[in-house]
Amino acid sequence: MKSTRGEKIFYFVNSFILLLLGITCLFPLINTIALSLSDLQPIASGRVTFYPIGWNTDAFSMLFGGTRIIPAFWNSVVITVVGVIFSMSVTIMTAYPLSRRIFFGRRFFTLAMVFTMLFSGGLIPTYLVVKSLGLVNSYFAIWLPALVSTYNLLVMRTFFENIPDEIDDAARIDGCTEWTYLQKVVIPLSMPAIATLTLFYAVGFWNAFMNVLIYINETSKYNLTVLVQNMIQSQSLLQEIVSTGEQVQVVPESLKAAGVLVMVIPMLVVYPFLQKYFVKGVMLGSIKG
């Protein structure tokens, strides 16, 4: 159907506004890239905006050679990969029985989990529980409190409920048990939702900050988020790193920008591979029909 003149004007204005918002969102990232690759003088004089002035990769050389960025990177990878495996496994195993109409107490357990979205014990009781379990200074103190997101659980449960009953009946006729049905039928059909929630959990664990700061005591176990935050907040630490560099011309702002990029780039690389499932997974798991 041909668009009217009013619709064309609306689409043009809407696209223009979205373009401006997109540029506004991208500007901090573009500016960070420019700062990390620019020469010392343009950064010091504040002339760096959208593109690097000069070309200087000393900030990355100093970051990888003079800081604990590589161990922190692997700490973040361990926290993210193991955390996602734990969280997705528990989310799937919990959402499946809640999606089954024959499950006794289905409504009670669902309401109990929704209750946790409205009320929580708070920081101090949570810390006391983690400490009493002997998990302080262990990554389990990060994984267990964030094991299941109630929102993600409800999305997964609703997605499972939308699988047609005819598929269930056919699987039962073929002799599928509950475990076989979940493994061979439900999970393959739910890959859009699983990919979407995997991205949600991965971003959460990769950007974990407060839990690491509270529960992890050894600096050798810090992840990228905490390390970069310490670099940004501690001017004395930055000056010490810069002063130890040999034949390297770097200002603290360039080193900060390089650290932020190392922290952000992995998620930017992963997101395009899961983006095609993102909208489909959320939409199909958010409505019942």
Q: Tell me: do 72 and 151 sit in the same domain.
A: yes
Report the distance separating Cα 78 and Cα 76, nearest Å. Answer: 5
Q: Tell me: do 49 and 82 sit in the same domain.
A: no
Quote the percentage of the chain above a pLDDT of 90: 13
The number of folded domains in the chain is 2
Q: Tell me: do 171 and 235 sit in the same domain.
A: yes
Confidence of residue 17 (pLDDT cuts 50, 70, 90): very high
Report the distance separating Cα 215 and Cα 123, nearest Å. Answer: 11
Q: Tell me: do 196 and 74 sit in the same domain.
A: yes
Q: Tell me: do 75 and 152 sit in the same domain.
A: yes
The pLDDT, as a whole number, for residue 89 is 93
Residues 6+ apart with CB under 8 A from 101: none
State mean pLDDT over 241-256. Answer: 65
Q: Tell me: do 146 and 218 sit in the same domain.
A: yes
Whether pLDDT at 286 is above 70 = no
The pLDDT, as a whole number, for residue 287 is 44
Confidence of residue 285 (pLDDT cuts 50, 70, 90): very low
Q: Tell me: do 52 and 64 sit in the same domain.
A: no
Report the distance separating Cα 83 and Cα 77, nearest Å. Answer: 10
Q: Tell me: do 16 and 71 sit in the same domain.
A: no
Q: Tell me: do 50 and 63 sit in the same domain.
A: no
136-145, 213-222, 245-254: the lowest-pLDDT one: 245-254
**pTM, two decimal places:** 0.81
Q: Tell me: do 155 and 92 sit in the same domain.
A: yes
Q: State which of 22, 38, 56 marks the end of a domain.
A: 56
CB atoms under 10 Å from CB of 209, counted, come to 13
Q: Tell me: do 96 and 23 sit in the same domain.
A: no
Q: State which of 9, 34, 56 marks the end of a domain.
A: 56
CA dihedral 98, 91, 272, 143 (to 10 degrees): 160
CB atoms under 10 Å from CB of 144, counted, come to 16
Q: Tell me: do 26 and 125 sit in the same domain.
A: no
CATH number, domain with residue 127: 1.10.3720.10
Whether pLDDT at 155 is above 70 = yes
Domain that holds residue 27: 1-56
